[in-house]
Chain A
Amino acid sequence: MAAPATDTARNAPSREILEKIFRTAYKIRVFETEGIKLYRQGLIRGYFHPYLGQEGIATGVCTALEEGDYISSTHRGHGHCIAWGADVKKMVAELLQKDTGYCKGYGGSMHIADIKSGNLGANGIVGAGTPLGVGAALAEQVKGSDSVTVTFTTDGGSNNGTFLESLNLAAIWNLNFILVIENNGYAVSTTIEESTRDTDLYKRGLAIGVESHQVDGNNPLAVYELTLAAAKTCRAGKGPVLIEAKTFRHMGHHVNDPGKYMPEDKLAYYKARDPVDRARADLVEMAGVPAGLIAQIEAEVAAEFEDAVAFSQASGEITAAQFAAFAADY
């Protein structure tokens, strides 16, 4: 039942882990940056909530999870999918409404899911992913498995009633459940200070007897290590665990929101503590990898995205006949 996590001495992470963290964070960065360009060209329609600036959280959390675990995500969910190991091809195809997308074009940006891999899906209703995640953790407990479910929610989502209801259920049933609050300071454009009296959201877990921590969300390695420990706690039957990860968006709520309400000095502060830069620096400094390798990873990631766009553009869309059959059976 600890307060803000301190940097406890641990074994230095392996180069493999550091490389995975950098590659993942960078992949999210490229996906969002290039995705916005596709949006501007009219290739992506509808809503698009970029994860820019928050990459460290999904990256750190998902790197600490294992096969058989589950995640459920938010409306700002691209980063969680990618960190979970999603196929960028199928993600881009979904955003381009193609039948080769994760949801065959039925879902779109806010509804990407991949049940088979344990990704229970993004969610267009803020806060709704939390009970769903607790439900998955409950299912796993009934099945007798020791898998862990992580739900990503937001500071906005933490003010929804289901936050208490479902975290409390996880608590009374000791579920293997980790609730990660990505506290980026804004619910759309409303600040956390306007939304709640005590902006340290991890305390809400403490209030109902849930082990709770606060972590710098822009430090992917710290998030990774905290999640590793939380998962261990859960698998020991002492879940759930709440993690509040502090972060800040690099732009407005969605792709057409300029975010004018975000103070420039605060934005500059967080951009100077960019999670992708941090992951790159960790890889260089802690694992001693040469600049050439960094460049190679970045080139590979960029090429993967370009391939995904080409794949998507060559893909078709659900036909009228397919849709008719689907609708008739619904």
Chain B
Amino acid sequence: MARELMYREALREAIDEEMARDPLVFIIGEGIAERGGSYKVTEGLLAKYGPKRVRDTPIAEAGMIGVGVGAAIAGARPIVEILYVDFTMLGMDMIVNQAAKFRLMTGGEGRVPFVLRTQGGAGGGVAAQHSQSLEALFYHIPGLKVVMPSTPADAKGLLKHALRQMDPVIFIEHKHLYMTKGMVPDGEHVVEFGVADIKRAGKDVTIIAWSNMVPRALEAAEELAAQGIDCEVLDPRSLVPLDKAAILASVAKTKRVVIVQEAVRRGGVASDIASIIQEEAFYDLDAPIQIVAGLNIPIPFNLALEKASVPQKEDVLAAVHRCLHLETVG
């Protein structure tokens, strides 16, 4: 059985269940205790688990992230909530030089079961320093797991898995998804990393998308279905590890691929996925791989410009038409 939950409720359920299960799980962040977090993800946890395990912090991202990494090295299971993925830049030394490398530097002995929860993405005019999609930076660093759920069920299942595995996880939520609703299975619901989900099965074109681009891709797929084009929407869910096998299987079926990312085009995850596909499935391709991505530009404040900076449904439609060698519809 399943219930309908909001994305943020599903995240809260995951944290709540894992805190109840494992006394080593605790969470720190700005305004997460009494206030319950900017997006209400941690609402009620302070009352339930007390100030030792649910702590507000000063605005000190490098310190918070570093303290989280240190606690994980010492065997606890910290969740550090960073309000915006833009702010993780302040703690990059702790993420890149400490958390990601620790296992290697210790010859495999030291593990860092550290979960950094944050959110990204554009929308609503929060401007250049609160709107970025920065997953490629983390994707590039060996040793980090990068997870970007698109639905309430995935958000819950992936966060629960994050709190049970042994490596640093960059868990990037999307500010536009917190209020979205979806069915979440009852009972224990854990989603392992590295398992893609087919959000919509289809035979003509594979659309690979993650985070907030999944609902956008699904919207486009419905419109294309009306034109007789049957799209498959594949959500990798975790970018590291990446479910290469599922991607290649889908490409072998449809022969055409569109990759949609909200992040800027240059040096993005989409480019790397495209490179994997051309390397391993070249002779399956009937059209060049299409990448739909953000412009190579910081996100402007003006709402029209903001919209023009990140992929829209129309961009996805056009890309699908291109890879079917059809005239584009405008």
Contact = CB atoms under 8 A, between A and B. Distances in A.
B76 A132 contact: no
Given A128-B94, A131-B62, A169-B63, A107 B106 contact: yes
A131 B58 CA distance: 14
B94 A169 contact: no
Interface in B48-92: 52-53, 55, 57-58, 60, 62-76, 78
A295 interface: no
A101 B58 contact: no
B94 A138 contact: no
Interface in A84-122: 101-107, 111, 113-116, 120-121
Contacts of B23: 142-143
A55 to B, nearest CB: 25
B58 A168 contact: yes
Interface string A127-168: 010111111101111110000010000000000011011101
A165 B62 contact: yes
A169 B105 CA distance: 27
A143 B67 contact: no
A72 interface: yes
A326 B75 CA distance: 22
Interface residues of A, number: 45
A136 B73 contact: yes
Interface string A24-67: 00000000000000000000000000000000000000000000
A142 B68 contact: no
Contacts of B107: 101-107
Contacts of A293: none
Contact of B110 (A113, A131, A138, A142): A113
Interface stretch (B95-103, B178-186, B288-296): B95-103
Most buried by B among A113, A120, A142, A168: A142
A143 B106 contact: no
Nearest to A72: B70
Contacts, number: 148
A138 B55 CA distance: 11
Contacts of A124: 97
A125 B99 CA distance: 13
A142 B73 contact: no
Given A104-B107, A113-B105, A140 B63 contact: no
A121 B102 contact: yes
A330 interface: yes
B63 A131 contact: yes
B24 interface: yes
Given A132-B70, A134-B70, A166-B63, A106 B106 contact: yes
Interface of A: 70, 72, 101-107, 111, 113-116, 120-121, 123-125, 128, 130-136, 138-143, 149, 161-162, 164-166, 168-169, 172-173, 326, 330
13 contacts: A70-B74, A101-B107, A106-B107, A124-B97, A132-B69, A135-B71, A135-B78, A136-B70, A138-B67, A138-B71, A143-B23, A169-B58, A326-B104
Q: Which 8 A-B pairs have the closest CB atoms?
A: A135-B70, A131-B66, A165-B63, A104-B107, A132-B70, A139-B76, A136-B74, A103-B107
Given A130-B66, A132-B98, A142-B24, 13 more contacts: A131-B67, A131-B69, A132-B69, A134-B66, A134-B70, A135-B67, A135-B73, A138-B76, A139-B72, A142-B26, A165-B58, A168-B58, A169-B63
